[in-house]
Structure 1
């Protein structure tokens, strides 16, 4: 009976092992393909990229980050104005609009 259980479980264990190894190979291939550094068991990069291409990528990403931060700041300012308009009392906004319609003396 012990041999029957082993014959039943062995193919399942083998398939799980093969699937695990295949998954590891696939994720490693994806990392290499997309330019991520490989890591050792402690999470440190085995061969970190420090070439000119990587440095150029960092520069471009930094520039894009600065542009997006500036744009986000302007969007926040506009949102603050819209929030003020929406939350103000309606008669005050109407009075300001009427004051703008009157001709200046």
Structure 2
């Protein structure tokens, strides 16, 4: 059927080449960005888990925990600053300073 129509042969060839190029580009982007590649049955092909990658994950996890703790302390400090700035006594101090400026 398809072989009898010579006009369809270039279209089919172009479609096949395009799909192969898309697969190559997708695989290249996955490798470049560190995503794991999977084999035909879903097993991980790349990157393989070795001692270096396990150690790297441990270090990144520790750094992540430290950064989370630091962010938590910064949030607490910011909450205290917001409380001080929006405190009613602060506005009262401002009003007193304005009154002092009027009398001088």
Alignment of 1:43-62 (within 5 A): 43-46=42-45, 49-62=48-61
CA displacement at 1:46 relative to structure 2: 3.7
What's the TM-score, normalizing by structure 2?
0.62
The structure richer in strand per residue is: 2
> Deviation digits for residues 43-98 of structure 1, max 9, x if unmatched?
55245622011111111111110111111111111111122123322xx12668x9
Structure 1 spans left out of the alignment, 5+ residues: 99-105
Structure 2 spans left out of the alignment, 5+ residues: 97-104
Change (3 A) 1:44 1:85: farther
Kept after mapping to 1: 8 A contact 2:34/2:47: no
Cα RMSD (Å): 3.2
Determine whether 1:93 maps to 2:74.
no
